[in-house]
C-alpha cells in the first residue's frame, strides 16, 4: 500500500512521533496504521532503553505530608540535565510521586514502580513514556515513607529543589505547635548533614573505621603510639558531636546545641518534644557523574568531518 502524506499526518497526531519516524513505520508495516502505532511504541521503548544507559545525576527531590503531619514521604527523581529538572511537567511528576509514596506502603522500589500512576499505567510505564517524550534518561531513584505512631513530621526543601529533609518529633504537641522548631531542625539537617540523630544510633563499623583514621592521623602528626589510647577518646567525642544531630551546635544560635534548642521549645510548650527520626535526600549524591570535556568533543566532531 502506498503511504500518503495524510496517513503520516494521522499517525503523527496519534503518537506524537516525528514525521520521518512515522513515514518509516508506515512503510515497514505496509500502511497499516494500527501496526504502525505498535511499531512506534516499540521503537519508543527501545529509544528509552538506550537513554537509560546515560548518567542521570540531576533532578529534584520533593516531600509530602499526611493529615496532621503524622505521616510523611520524600522522593528523588533524576534527570540528565538541570534544564529538564526545571521543566514544569517534570516538577509535577516529582510532586505526584511524593504523594504516591505518601499514600501507599510499597515494600521496595520494585513495588513502588509497579504502583498505578493516576490511571495512566504503572509508575514504570509512565516514566518510560516521559523518557521517550522528553528525550533524555530519567530515573525514579528512591523514596522513603515515615509513619511512626506518636511522631509529628516536619521538613524542608532547599529553594533549588536539590536537598530535601524530613525530621520526626516524638511529642503530644500538634504540627502547628512544632512548626517553627520543625523547620529549624530540618534546615539544620540540610546545611550540616548529620549522619545520626543521637549517639546511640551510631553504626559500630563506621565508628571503628573513623577511629582507625583518627589513629593514623595522630601517628602522621608525630604523636607517640603509647599516647594514642589517651588521645583517641577525645578525638572520637569531637567527631560524634559533628555527626550526631542533637549534639551539633545549632546553626541559628551557636551558643546552644540542637538538643538544647529543642528542649527550650518543649519547655515553652509545656509538652515533651524529642527528635527521633531524620531523612536527608540530596540530588545525585553517590552517583558517579561523567565529566564532560566539551572542547575535546567539538575537536573530535570536527576531525570526523
Task: Write the pLDDT tens digit of every residue in 82-134.
Answer: 888 888 999 999 999 999 999 999 999 999 999 999 999 999 999 999 888 88
pLDDT at 188 exceeding the cut of 60:
yes
Report, as an integer, the average pLDDT of 193-200.
Answer: 94
- Residue 195, SS3 per DSSP: coil
What is the per-residue pLDDT for 296? 53
CB half-sphere exposure, 54, CA atoms < 13 A: 16
Which residue in the block uniquely carries the three cell numbers 538541570? Answer: 82
Pick from 182, 188, 164: which is nearest to 68 by CA? 182
* Most trustworthy range by pLDDT among 105-114, 227-236, 296-305: 105-114
What is the per-residue pLDDT for 49? 47
Contact 20, 27 (CB under 8 A): no
Count CB atoms within 10 A of the CB of residue 175: 17
Handedness of CA 83, 85, 90, 92 (dihedral sign): negative
* Most trustworthy range by pLDDT among 2-6, 23-27, 130-134, 272-276: 272-276
Taking CA atoms, 94 is separated from 42, 51, 155, 185, in Å, by 25, 19, 16, 24
pLDDT at 48 exceeding the cut of 90:
no
What is the per-residue pLDDT for 263? 97
What is the per-residue pLDDT for 55? 65
| 140: its cell numbers | 525514579
What is the per-residue pLDDT for 221? 87
In this prediction, residue 280 has a pLDDT band, given cuts at 50, 70 and 90, of very high
What is the per-residue pLDDT for 5? 87
What is the per-residue pLDDT for 52? 54
Lowest mean pLDDT among 4-8, 74-78, 93-97: 4-8
What is the per-residue pLDDT for 12? 74
What is the per-residue pLDDT for 13? 66
What is the residue-averaged pLDDT of the chain?
87
Whether the full predicted model's pTM is greater than 0.85, yes or no, is no
Report, as an integer, the average pLDDT of 45-73.
Answer: 78
Distance CA 65, CA 151 (A): 12
What is the per-residue pLDDT for 220? 87
pLDDT at 170 exceeding the cut of 60:
yes
pLDDT at 246 exceeding the cut of 60:
yes
pLDDT at 298 exceeding the cut of 60:
no
Which are the contacts of 253, defined by CB distance < 8 A and separation ≥ 6? 261
Which residue in the block uniquely carries the three cell numbers 533524576? Answer: 78
What is the per-residue pLDDT for 291? 46
**Helix, strand, coil percentages for the chain (3-state, nearest 5):** 50, 20, 30
Which residue in the block uniquely carries the three cell numbers 568531518? Answer: 305
Report, as an integer, the average pLDDT of 53-67.
Answer: 86
CB half-sphere exposure, 129, CA atoms < 13 A: 12
What is the per-residue pLDDT for 294? 46
Which residue in the block uniquely carries the three cell numbers 527520626? Answer: 277
What is the per-residue pLDDT for 63? 98
Contact 105, 145 (CB under 8 A): yes
What is the per-residue pLDDT for 305? 45
Write the pLDDT tens digit of every residue in 200-221. 999 899 899 888 888 888 888 8
| 257: its cell numbers | 546545641
Amino acid at each position: 500500500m502506498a503511504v500518503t502524506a495524510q496517513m503520516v499526518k494521522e499517525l503523527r497526531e496519534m503518537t506524537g512521533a516525528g514525521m520521518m519516524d512515522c513515514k518509516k513505520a508506515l512503510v515497514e508495516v505496509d500502511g497499516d496504521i494500527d501496526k504502525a502505532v505498535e511499531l512506534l511504541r516499540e521503537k519508543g521503548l527501545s529509544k528509552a532503553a538506550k537513554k537509560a544507559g546515560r548518567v542521570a545525576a540531576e533532578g529534584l527531590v520533593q516531600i509530602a505530608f499526611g493529615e496532621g503531619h503524622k505521616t510523611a514521604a520524600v522522593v528523588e527523581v533524576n534527570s540528565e540535565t538541570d534544564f529538564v529538572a526545571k521543566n514544569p511537567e517534570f516538577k509535577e511528576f516529582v510532586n505526584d510521586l511524593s504523594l504516591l509514596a505518601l499514600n501507599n506502603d510499597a515494600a521496595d522500589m520494585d513495588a513502588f514502580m509497579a504502583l498505578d500512576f493516576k490511571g495512566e499505567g504503572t509508575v514504570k510505564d509512565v516514566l518510560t513514556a516521559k523518557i521517550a517524550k522528553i528525550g533524555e534518561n530519567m530515573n525514579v531513584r528512591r523514596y522513603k515513607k515515615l509513619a511512626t505512631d506518636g511522631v509529628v513530621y516536619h521538613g524542608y526543601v532547599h529553594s533549588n529543589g536539590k536537598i530535601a529533609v524530613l525530621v520526626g518529633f516524638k511529642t503530644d504537641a500538634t504540627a502547628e505547635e512544632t512548626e517553627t522548631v520543625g523547620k529549624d531542625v530540618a534546615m539544620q539537617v540540610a546545611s550540616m548533614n548529620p549522619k545520626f540523630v543521637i549517639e546511640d544510633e551510631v553504626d559500630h563499623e563506621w565508628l571503628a573505621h573513623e577511629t582507625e583514621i583518627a589513629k593514623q592521623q595522630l601517628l602522621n602528626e608525630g604523636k607517640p603510639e603509647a599516647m594514642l589510647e589517651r588521645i583517641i577518646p577525645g578525638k572520637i567525642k569531637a567527631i560524634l558531636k559533628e555527626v550526631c544531630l542533637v549534639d551539633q551546635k545549632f546553626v541559628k544560635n551557636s551558643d546552644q546545641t540542637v538538643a538544647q534548642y529543642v528542649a527550650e521549645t518543649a519547655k515553652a510548650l509545656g509538652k515533651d518534644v524529642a527528635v527521633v527520626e531524620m531523612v536527608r535526600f540530596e540530588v545525585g549524591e553517590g552517583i558517579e557523574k561523567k565529566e564532560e570535556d566539551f572542547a575535546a568533543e567539538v575537536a573530535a566532531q570536527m576531525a570526523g568531518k
